[in-house]
Amino acid sequence: MKKFWDERYAEEAYVYGEKPNAFFKEQLDALNPGKILLPADGEGRNGVYAAEEGWEVSAFDISHTGKEKADQLAEKKGVQINYKVGSLEDQYYEAESFDVIALIFAHFPPHLKQDYHQQFVDLLKPGGILIFEAFSKDHLAYSAKNPKVGGPKNRDILYDTDELENYFSTLEKHTLIQTEVELSEGAYHQGTGSAVRFVGVK
């Protein structure tokens, strides 16, 4: 997995572009800046956007090349992000220390999903907000028709609304929906896909 992402991010271009994900931007723009965690932040498009908007940004990802490009993007935009290489078990974050945790196309190995999402809830402050967008299990039919839309090919890595209902059952639910999305994010998210979105408050 790490090798796959290191190789993909070794391309010169930002594979999902330099602009933030549209759903993340829409949600974040409605909030006052505070402390945000971006797990699996890839090349940093979302973390850097948050920093530009005045957020104190922590991020992590298993990819070294992802971090290099995230740091380059942050430098280009004149902001700082605290981006660590590794998975969640390699990090130390204080419990209840983040105002927002944003999971954007954070497709984790199936055996880690339940535990990771519970830990993300634990890391949110009371009143903190969880923002989530990722490909749904139905996305497989979309990527079979149009490979340019990207997304994992393993059904167990994809999400459905029941799963999110379970992971985030202790949060007050504001949004939980499976929806078609029109993606235009770099070379690897192009076209119509199926996503699951969640927004909730601790």
Ligand X SMILES: C[S@@+](CC[C@H](N)C(=O)[O-])C[C@H]1O[C@@H](n2cnc3c(N)ncnc32)[C@H](O)[C@@H]1O
Q: By CB under 6 A, name the binding residues for ligand X.
A: 1, 5, 16, 21, 40-42, 45-46, 60-63, 66, 87, 104-108
Beta strands, E only, the chain: 35-39, 56-61, 82-85, 98-104, 124-135, 172-185, 189-201
- With respect to ligand X, which residue has the nearer C-beta, 49 or 168? 49
| Nearest-approach distance from CB 126 to ligand X, in angstroms | 25
| Nearest-approach distance from CB 163 to ligand X, in angstroms | 17
β-sheet bridge partners, residue 135 = 195
- The residue whose Cβ lies closest to ligand X is 42
| Nearest-approach distance from CB 116 to ligand X, in angstroms | 8
DSSP annotation of 114: H
| Nearest-approach distance from CB 86 to ligand X, in angstroms | 7
- With respect to ligand X, which residue has the nearer C-beta, 46 or 143? 46
Tell me the backbone φ, ψ of residue 74, rounded to 5 degrees. Answer: -60, -40
- With respect to ligand X, which residue has the nearer C-beta, 50 or 171? 50
Contact at 8 Å (CB) between 68 and 53? no
**What's the rounded Cα separation, in Å, for the pair 7 and 49?**
24
